[in-house]
Amino acid sequence: MKTHKRNHLLIAFAAMFVSSVQSQNISYGVIVGADITNMYLKPVPFSEQNGMYSPVFSYNLNGFVSYKSNSFLGLSIEPGIIRKGGVQLFDYMNSQSQPVNRKVIASINSIQLPILLDFHLNDRLYISAGVELEYRLSQKAIMTNEATTNHIFAGSVPLYVVRGTGLNTYADDIIPDDNYPSVYYSGLAGLQYMINKRFDVGLRYGFSLKELYSVLWKDEYNVVMGNSNLYTSYLQLSLKVRL
């Protein structure tokens, strides 16, 4: 008899839990995204331009769990993976202190964990803002045969980027190198539109909250002429699928 009552209590508790979850408007699923991602240096000495990179097409793949309160507020957690990068357009000095004027395609693969506050403007439209924690999985820099296009001059003396830390003072493929941080943070802001109960489309912008590391600008005589900080950013078009 006691076992029979206990089973009834367990069933009742499970029913109450399911009912509670449904009333709290919890949803989950997957997000696939097409990203335009870039890296940039700022400030750049003796130049008004801060970019020094051109963007590359990339992707992200995430899961998500979202909670919507009975008011306009909600919360989303979206663990997944993302690839960021850019095409380096500036000249740099290799490990033999030789100038290199070839473009380098840089890419970084990371695990990301966006945590977002959702502000529901109506039943279909909502904006999201928050932060994401990223953990670097891998990185590479591929040198191309194309010439660089963003040359920095101090008067008539050309400037080159070098890395100024560690045993390998000058990196061959300047960014990313072994000094790229394993863990870093970004800010996020986006707009989402609910097509129906299954699908949402969204547009999101992500940006570094602080510099990832610094590089030095030197002339051909190895004299330091300034420094720049590295940042990343991306623009994402996403499709959210509720399961």
Identify the pLDDT of residue 153: 82
Identify the pLDDT of residue 30: 98
Q: Is the pLDDT at 180 greater than 50, yes or no?
A: yes
Mean pLDDT of 212-235: 90
Q: Which of 198, 201, 187 is nearest to 231 (CA)?
A: 187
Tokens of 121: 């403007």
Residue owning tokens 């030789």: 98
Q: Is the pLDDT at 193 greater than 80, yes or no?
A: yes
Any idea what DSSP says for residue 148? P
pLDDT digits (tens, 9 = 90+) for 30-88: 999 999 999 999 988 887 777 899 999 999 999 999 999 888 999 999 999 999 999 99
Q: Is the pLDDT at 119 greater than 50, yes or no?
A: yes
Q: Which of 128-132, 153-157, 209-213 has the highest mean pLDDT?
A: 128-132
Q: What SS3 state is found at 205?
A: strand
Identify the pLDDT of residue 95: 76
More confident residue, 202 or 219: 202
**Mean per-residue pLDDT over the chain, rounded:** 87
Identify the pLDDT of residue 6: 57
For residues 61 and 129, is the Cβ–Cβ distance under 8 A? no
For residues 134 and 65, is the Cβ–Cβ distance under 8 A? no
For residues 118 and 73, is the Cβ–Cβ distance under 8 A? yes
Query: Rounded CA gap, 75 and 128, in Å?
Result: 9
Identify the pLDDT of residue 46: 83
**Domains with residue ranges and CATH for the chain:** 26-242 (2.40.160.20)
Give the distance from CA 185 to its chain's centroid. Answer: 8
Instruction: Assign 118 a pLDDT band (cuts: 50, 70, 90).
Output: very high
Identify the pLDDT of residue 146: 95
**Phi, psi for residue 3 in degrees, rounded to 5:** -65, -40
Q: Which of 143, 162, 142 is nearest to 152 (CA)?
A: 162
Query: Rounded CA gap, 232 and 85, in Å?
Result: 8
Instruction: Assign 170 a pLDDT band (cuts: 50, 70, 90).
Output: low
Identify the pLDDT of residue 65: 96
Query: Rounded CA gap, 99 and 103, in Å?
Result: 12
Q: Which of 33, 132, 36 is nearest to 76 (CA)?
A: 132
Mean pLDDT of 177-187: 87
Query: Rounded CA gap, 164 and 78, in Å?
Result: 36
The alpha carbons of the chain give a radius of gyration, in whole angstroms, of 24
